[in-house]
Amino acid sequence: MKDFLNKLYRNHSLIYKVLLFICTTFLIVYLFPKSGKFKYNFEKGKPWQSENLYAPFDFAIKKSESEINKEKEDIINNGTLYFSIDSSIENKVKTAFKKEFTTNFSDTISLTSSSELYKTGIDIISQLYAFGVLNESYSFSEEKRIVILDERVKKQEGIYFDLIKLDKVTSVIEKVLKKHKLSSNKTEFVSLFYDLVEPNLTFDKSFTDKALQEELDKIVYARGSIEKQTLIVSKGEVVQGDKYQILKSLQSEYESQVWSKSSYIWILFAYTLLVALALLMLLLFLMKYRLSVFENNTKVTFIFFNIFLLIFLTTMVVNYNSKFIYVVPICILPLVFKAFFDARLGLFSHVITVLLLGFVVPNSYEYMFLQIIAGIVTILTVKELYKRANLFISVGQITLIYFIAYFAFFVIHEGTVETLDWKTFGYFVLCGLATLFVQPLIYVYEKVFGLVSDVSLLELSDTNSKLLKELSNKAPGTFHHSLNVANLAESSANEIGANAMLVRVGALYHDIGKMKSPTYFTENQSTGINPHDELSSKESARIITDHVIDGIEIAKKNNLPDRVIDFIRTHHGTSVVYYFYMQEKKNHDDVDRLDFSYPGPKPFSKETAILMMCDSIEAASKSLKEPTSTKIDAFVENIINKQIEEGQFLNANITFKEIESIKKVLKHKLANIYHLRIEYPE
């Protein structure tokens, strides 16, 4: 059991990557659309590219979306409105009229006139309540069909125009009075009925909506059917009209049948295989070409997280409305990866992500072409992300590429520019603006994942920062030495294509451990007193080598990134404090070399190797007396060749050719520092 646990512990990094790989695969597959994929590609108005297609099974021809929408619109426009009636209101108004009649009309009028007026009033009430009086006005069409319900039972039907609105009561009174030739009594009747008339009709919205829904539910979504083995379309035939609708029906039926039957598990398995294959290619790329990234679980997690995040965002947008698909800033991915890693990894990851998105988005070929081209442009144009102008220029170029590629695809599909959808260009502009969000996103990632980008390196290179200010105050000689080393290292890095910003920052902080005991280092001894004179060679060597450990402690206390701390660890490698080692050998024959050696490790990257060379050259150059070009050349060759002989660069991925280039830069720089003229051969 113990051996098993030890084995698990030794392989815990690999086990973590396997679990991460499996989880990411299943999460991505979960986001994929729950349907099969129709194996034929076709477009309206374009020739059928495949062989003759025969119906693989019986299926119904579905109506187009426009046809269904037209039917729905007709049903809604011709739908019936239902009103509930209170039948007691009419009798109530008649009773009230009878009671108020004698009060409102003078007793002095003749009996005949009184009888005529009373009949007229009853006629007015009958006219008002022939269909009913509405409790409020509605904005329905006058021709809209209506049904009046009494206790949910149909009483009568008509059109909305037949119903009396409250503002139409006066016109009904006038019409009846005119009919009875009693127009002179209009004022009395209007005044009387103004107080008597009550609405007896209420719009029954719930019943109307229910009836409308029942009509909508009766819509048939198919028109005709196709039998198995019927020829649907021939090779070269233009796909349009009924042919297009039949193909769309077959595609829909095929996808629904495939996904709903027993083959569900097989399709899910196939999706999983494809996603796993894509992610496996990414892992293999890391393992073969970016081993330092592959061995760092945090960085692998960071890469997989960003890929999943973009697939998740794109899926959400597609599910909401696929026309906004180009608003998702896919080019953020290569920008982020280039900021934290390099261009090659950024482009490879971008291509893998876009290939996976091909399962999610409509018009997958067009989408993948656009995004891959945009990703390439992103990698090629963004050189120094920490410069704001560069990011804006790059985003402008990316947006322009979107414009050009989309325009070309549209013309190919439609054959004209007259129907060009200008809204899509607006989506590309929004995508470009969203891409600018990469700057705050990089900052968030630095804090969450503990990574370092060129933006942070630029901040750390500021000599007015707290830690470098402290170094300049406590150890001014060391600070000056660090500045000189930074300049040499930056030039060397530029010469061989290494990360110049990273090596410059590493050079500025590589000797911060000397702040603990600054006077024990010659560059800080301004009084002429050397404290090493009172110490043994072994004690002096220990103080000198301890500045590496002290530097690491100070760096961690001040939250410097690990990439910068690596320079502090490795800038002396496992070399020997040669002066005190030789002093000890003069007095003792048996000397342990390890007592005078730095703890290491040896440099393990181009940048850390460059710093070791430049640090040694700059420090030793102070001892040059009457320097000449010949002396400087021999001096540089001797120091770097000695480091090579000691195997200090065995772990660094630096070539002999690159070392020779660095030697050339250092010779040129030292010649300029000492104001020497280059000696040309005769």
Buried-state track 37-66, b at ≥16 Cβ within 10 A, e below 16 = bbeeebeeeeebeeeebebeeebebbbeee
Q: Each residue of 267-301: pLDDT tens digit?
A: 788 889 999 999 999 999 999 988 888 988 999 99
Q: Each residue of 390-411: pLDDT tens digit?
A: 778 888 888 998 888 888 887 8
Torsion angle of C-alpha atoms 176, 180, 182, 185, degrees rounded to 10? -40
Q: What is the pLDDT of residue 5?
A: 65
Residue 386 pLDDT > 80: no
Rounded (5°) CA angle 357-363-364: 30
Residue 354 pLDDT > 70: yes
Q: What is the pLDDT of residue 277?
A: 95
- Dist CA 272 CA 280 (whole Å): 12
Q: What is the pLDDT of residue 483?
A: 94
Q: Each residue of 140-151: pLDDT tens digit?
A: 888 889 888 888
| DSSP output for 624-681 | -SS--HHHHHHHHHHHHHHHHHTTTTTTS---HHHHHHHHHHHHHHHHHHTTPPP---
Return residue ranges of the chain for CATH 1.10.3210.
454-673
pLDDT over 70 for what percent of the chain? 90
- Dist CA 325 CA 472 (whole Å): 53
β-strands 81-85, 145-150: how paired?
Answer: parallel
- Dist CA 647 CA 638 (whole Å): 14
Residue 108 pLDDT > 50: no
Give the global pTM. Answer: 0.64
CATH class of the domain defined by 454-673? mainly alpha
Q: What is the pLDDT of residue 36?
A: 56
- Dist CA 560 CA 509 (whole Å): 9
Range list of β-strands (E), 21-132: 53-54, 59-62, 81-85
Residue 372, CB half-sphere, CA atoms under 13 Å: how many? 14
Q: How much is the average pLDDT of 479-501? A: 92
Average the pLDDT over each of 15-19, 125-129, 527-531, 570-574 and give the range with the smallest value.
527-531
Burial of 478 (0-12, 13-18, 19+ CB in 10 A): buried
Residue 507 pLDDT > 90: yes
DSSP run (H or E) holding 148: strand 145-150
Residue 259 pLDDT > 80: no
- For residue 96, CA distances in Å to 128, 171, 176 come to 15, 21, 19
Q: What is the pLDDT of residue 470?
A: 92
Q: What is the mean pLDDT of the chain?
A: 84
Q: Each residue of 595-652: pLDDT tens digit?
A: 888 987 999 999 999 999 999 999 888 878 777 888 888 999 999 999 999 999 999 9
Residue 380 pLDDT > 70: yes
Neighbouring-strand partners of residue 147: 82, 157
Residue among 175, 171, 170 nearest 192 (CA) = 170
What single-letter amino acid sits at 280?
L
Q: What is the pLDDT of residue 284?
A: 95
Burial of 519 (0-12, 13-18, 19+ CB in 10 A): middle
pLDDT band at residue 581 under the 50/70/90 scheme: confident
